[in-house]
Amino acid sequence: MIKAIIFDLFGTLTCGGCDPEKEIIRVFALREDYNFVEKVVSGAKFGGMDAYLSNIINQLNLPDNPETRKALEDIFEQDVTKEKINPEMVALVKALKSKDLKLGLLSDMPNPIYDLVGKANLCALFDEILYSYSTGLSKPDLRFFGMMVSKLGVKNEEIIMVGDSLRRDISPARELGMKPILFQSADQLRKELASFSISVD
């Protein structure tokens, strides 16, 4: 029996417009692997913007000067404007909230600038919220998922994981014995949830 649903944020509850890692690679002409840059940008525990930028600069071997720091901040501030919450998904989550289910939000989030859920006053929709910048863990690290499971207080096999990434969402969820749903659209998600006897109008 399903007792909880965990949602990814970017590309699942949002329209999927932001990609700071890609922009950092482009601006600084980096040769590093995208997944490595992603772990540096979205996998470090946030302890203030100065320390956060210092970690990125050190890990990516960038010149530590005011110009680099401003360029990084500009990337984040401009990149987040490309992203928005999908109203159709908000309606779906609200419908699920009225059911006897626990809802979690698990997201690789670079820093607080990207907290679109908080800015939209939607935190109350979720029983538990975990962001990579607040934990120092990121997907597909199984410990990140395990932390959410502990907070929800249910068993792995009682959880549906909804996300748009095979590597970061679906594979780890499957490895942990959860029921993964690869997100494509709100309509598709409604149909998939129906197969678990979860009806969403």
What average pLDDT does range 181-193 have in this prediction? 98
The model carries a pTM of 0.96
Q: Where are the domains of the chain?
A: 4-16+84-194, 20-81
pLDDT of residue 121 exceeding 90, the answer is yes
Mean per-residue pLDDT for 1-7? 98
Amino acid at 27: V
User: What Cα–Cα distance (Å) separates residue 184 from each residue in 47, 100, 121, 173, 198?
Assistant: 34, 25, 25, 17, 18
**Band of pLDDT at residue 72, cut at 50, 70 and 90:** very high
In CATH terms, the fold of domain 4-16+84-194 is Rossmann fold (3.40.50)
CA 21-141-72 angle, to 5 degrees, is 20
Summarize pLDDT for 136-150 with one digit per residue, the tens.
999 999 999 999 999
Rounded mean pLDDT, 68-87: 98
Residue 78's pLDDT band (cuts 50, 70, 90): very high
Mean pLDDT on 114-142? 98
pLDDT of residue 63: 98
Quote the distance between the C-alpha of residue 24 and its chain's center: 19
pLDDT band at residue 25 under the 50/70/90 scheme: very high
Q: Is the pLDDT of residue 201 over 90?
A: no
- Position 180 confidence tier, pLDDT thresholds 50, 70, 90: very high
